[in-house]
Structure formats: structure tokens, C-alpha cells
A and B are shown apart, each in its own frame.
Chain A
């Protein structure tokens, strides 16, 4: 079994203008991922784009891996144009993944951050209080599926096109303020840096166990290049630069120091 393998594209579905759902079948025996782990996927045929890109695994079973992604640059645009039957190379599963929740948990997703949290929702059905926010209704991708897997769903959009008009962190703050018993639940979050930034003081105030999957540009994905570091508090109450691809992508949010 190897972490570097060719895979055949089984389907590549356009969800809407911005989002794609890619399904690949590894062509060699591969290692089963855990929720919150990721893969480096080939996003070009030649040397431009050059590097592979990291994608959280969205769905997996023994035969296939599925990735939900947002078309953002050259690499994701290339990936969105790949055809069924094409072969791409992948490296993975990589990173630490989420710690397993014992019981009920809180999940906070910002936009495409839902991709990283979905395996957790699927593995622990009807256990999650899901807070899901995005800029607009069209960007609450896979909302129906996510909400059907969750115990309760709270949604927000910046433009108010659906749910609470505002930030998902406002919804979460209200929830935790008015339901103090929930502060014993672990919190799993994945979203933009401003979102994680806003969650941090709440996690601090209520002493929450808060796990955040964070994003950084990556070159190798395997821990050798030290390109994707995050500033994280260490035992000596100092900081060190930890590799998002190796010691992460999931960190204790309260330890992360934003630059």
C-alpha cells in the first residue's frame, strides 16, 4: 500500500457555478482515510500548474474517494475540466484528521469548509449541532445533505438570502450563550480565517475543546518542505511553526496564533 497512487476519475459533477464534486477510484491498493484528512491532487498535465493541491476528503469508502471543491484558481479550474476515465496522481491520506467525538458535538462550517466536516457528520449521524454559514444561499453547498446528517442545523448568510442574516459565529455565540450546558460539547470547525478568528475568543471564554482544520498554501503535503506552517503555542507557552500538513491540518484552535 502506498500513499502515492494513480486514480481514475469516476465522475466530475458541477454542483453550481463555483463548486464541483470529483470522484476518483484509486488504481492501486490504498490506505483508508480518517475524517479531516486530506489528499494532494494533481491539478495539471505539465509544469504549470506545477504543484499538487490539497483537498479535504469529502466521502470515502474502500473503492473511491470524493472531493468537494470550489473553483478558485488555475489548479481547481483544471481539475473541474477533467473527464471521466482520465487518470490523475494523488498523495494521501495526509495530516492528522479530527479527534473522534464521544457523543454529541458542535460543527461550524464556513462555505467550502463543509467539505472537511462532512465525513464527521456522516460517521456520527444525528450527533452534530451544525452551524453552517456562507456569503449567500448558493454558497451553502450541500446544505441539504449536511443538515440531514445533523441533529440540528443553524444557517446564516451574509446577504440574508437564507437563514440568519450575518455571520455564522453570531449564531454560534447566541447558541452557546443561551445554552450553557452545550459548552461541554467538543467543537469542530473549518472555514475562513476571519471565521476561526471570531470563534477563538468564544472558545477561550467558555473553555471549549475546539478543533479547527486550518488552511495554508502547501508544496509537498508530506511534511518535508516546511512551506505550510502555522504559528502555534507550544508547551513552554512560546510559539513554534507547525506544519499544517503533518501536525495539522487540525489544531486546537485556542493554540493557534494568527499572524
Chain B
């Protein structure tokens, strides 16, 4: 009678060791405090906090959200307390947990990205940076950083030089060829990519002829976008050598497994947190149970196991 070894759920993203592949998606988990009321954050693979900039942002006016068929459209955008306030008021709280804290950040110029990365790099308790490139560049007519390969290369390379922390670049799906964007990011020296950010969308109220969001357009998330996300993660996994973090509409462990099977090393749960504050830990449990029932003793055997 041999002892059955406990299956391995841990994965490696650059220098980060995650005890399981389940991460929270930026903007859906605040700075951790709110959901610590519901479960022990130590159960997570890692936590990604709400996107931060060097200085605080008020964000766009309401209404900021509207529900769509199996999804939600949001223009919550970039409201945040600013990196100095985060380091002073929020980070000390997160240090008590034994999980990697990944800080999502952005800027509206290359200098602001660099400044944000520098401010975060020396802080104790920040384990990696996730760079949001789905925001507009004020120096280039407000075009989106993440949709132009040359701009993306420039900003990613500059940030790479500014930090020694593992650098994850979160890709925008609002491009013609996302694999090309991932390649650009890899060539710029990033340690990993995460995708997908939200898909740009729009809703109109027919009686008033007005857009349903004050910002007119917003980002679509939720189960409606999952097949698009899985396809994009698959394409990116085929074209880069750096680890890929997959996300987009993951509601349960079955959704999560799709992303792992097409090659994602880890997955992030976003909108599902709003519906069910326990979504992440239910997904972790679901993956573990699936591995046991399928006789898989290492999660890495599942990753990239797609049969085509």
C-alpha cells in the first residue's frame, strides 16, 4: 500500500511561486480588505490589487456600470488612491498574508509609468508589478498604449529598466493581433503577460437615446467574453515563451481549466468575485477535486495539455 502523494497545485510565474494557480483580477478585489471578511486570503495563489497611479485619480462620473447579457460593461476606469497612499494605508495590511501581492499600475505618459514603477519597486511587500496598458497616452493623442506595437514596446522597455521586480504586462484584447503584442512585450524584457483586459463596448437606452454609461463606452467583462479570452490566451501561449496568466469571464473551475489547458500558467478571477465573494476559493477547490478525479498529480501536467 503506497501513500498517494498530495497533488501539486503550485505554479511558477517568473520568480513568484504561487501555491495554486488562482489569482484575483485587478479592480475586482480592491486592496484585499473587503474580501478578507469572507475568507482567508492566504488560500489564494496571489492577489492583484486595484490599479494604481503615481497620483490619485477621481475616476469618471456615474453611471459607471451596466449589466449586459451574461456580462457587465464598466467605465469605472482608473479611480484610485494613488501609490503613496497605497503604500502607507493599504500595503501594511496586505503584508500579514503569506501570498504574493501583485500591484497593478498605470500612467498616462511613459514618464508616469516609470514613476509609478519606481515608487512601487522599493516597497516591502510588493512582489510583482502588473502593468495596465489599456489606458490612453496623453502624449500621443490619447491613443491606447496597448494597441500600438511601437508605443507598447517603448513603454514596456522603459518600465523594464525602472524595476527589478517581476514585470507582468496586462494586454488589451482590442487589437487585431494579440500574439504580436505579446511578442513585443516579451522582447521588451517583461517576465509574463496577463490577458485579457476588458473588451471595449457600448450600450444605448433606446427611450432616451442616451448611452447607458456617462463615459459613453466601457469595458465588457463576465462570462460573455470567455470564449474570446480563451482563444486569445491560446494564441499568445503559442507565440511567446514567457508565462501567461489567463483571464476573462471565469466563473467556475471548469472555466478556469479551459485557460490552463490552452496554456495559461495561472488564471485570474474578476467579475465572478462580484457575484460570489467565495468564487476564487470555490475554483481552487474545484481544480483540486478535478485533478483527484482525473488522477492528475501535478497541475503542470494540465497546463498546455490541449489536444488538437
Known contacts A219-B274, A224-B30; A51/B64 CB under 8 A: no
Q: Complex: how many Å from CA A15 to CA B231?
A: 48
On chain B, the residues within 8 Å of A239 by CB distance are: 58
Known contacts A91-B277, A219-B74, A229-B79; A224/B62 CB under 8 A: no
A contacts with B, residue count (CB < 8 A): 32
On chain B, the residues within 8 Å of A206 by CB distance are: none
Give the distance to chain A from B99, nearest Cβ to Cβ, in Å. Answer: 17
B241 at the interface (CB under 8 A from A): no
Give the distance to chain A from B273, nearest Cβ to Cβ, in Å. Answer: 7
Task: Evaluate contact between A225 and B66: CB separation under 8 angstroms.
Answer: no
Task: Evaluate contact between A229 and B67: CB separation under 8 angstroms.
Answer: no
Residues 1-17 of chain A, each 1 if its beta carbon lies under 8 Å from chain B, else 0: 01110000000000000
On chain B, the residues within 8 Å of A89 by CB distance are: 276
Task: Evaluate contact between B27 and A4: CB separation under 8 angstroms.
Answer: no
Q: Complex: how many Å from CA A108 to CA B149?
A: 57
Task: Evaluate contact between B29 and A224: CB separation under 8 angstroms.
Answer: yes
Task: Evaluate contact between B67 and A225: CB separation under 8 angstroms.
Answer: no
Give the distance to chain A from B256, nearest Cβ to Cβ, in Å. Answer: 15
Task: Evaluate contact between A227 and B67: CB separation under 8 angstroms.
Answer: no
Across the interface, A223 reaches (CB within 8 A) one of B34, B66, B76, B224, namely: B34
Residues 67-85 of chain A, each 1 if its beta carbon lies under 8 Å from chain B, else 0: 0000000000000000000
Known contacts A222-B277, A229-B79; A4/B72 CB under 8 A: no
Task: Evaluate contact between A50 and B70: CB separation under 8 angstroms.
Answer: yes
**Interface of B, helix, strand, loop or mixed by DSSP:** loop
Task: Evaluate contact between A225 and B35: CB separation under 8 angstroms.
Answer: no
A103 at the interface (CB under 8 A from B): no
B237 at the interface (CB under 8 A from A): no
Q: Complex: how many Å from CA A243 to CA B30?
A: 12
Across the interface, B38 reaches (CB within 8 A) one of A3, A221, A225, A226, namely: A3
Task: Evaluate contact between B273 and A224: CB separation under 8 angstroms.
Answer: yes
Q: Complex: how many Å from CA A223 to CA B34?
A: 7
* Residues of B bordering A, CB below 8 Å: 27-30, 34-35, 37-38, 50, 58-59, 61-67, 69-72, 74, 76, 79, 214, 222-224, 251, 271, 273-278
Provide a sorted-by-A list of 30 A–B residue pairs whose CB atoms are within 8 angstroms. A3-B38, A4-B38, A4-B276, A46-B70, A51-B72, A51-B274, A52-B275, A216-B62, A216-B63, A217-B62, A217-B65, A217-B66, A217-B67, A220-B273, A221-B274, A222-B34, A223-B30, A224-B35, A224-B273, A225-B28, A225-B74, A225-B274, A226-B64, A227-B64, A227-B65, A229-B62, A229-B64, A231-B62, A239-B58, A240-B58
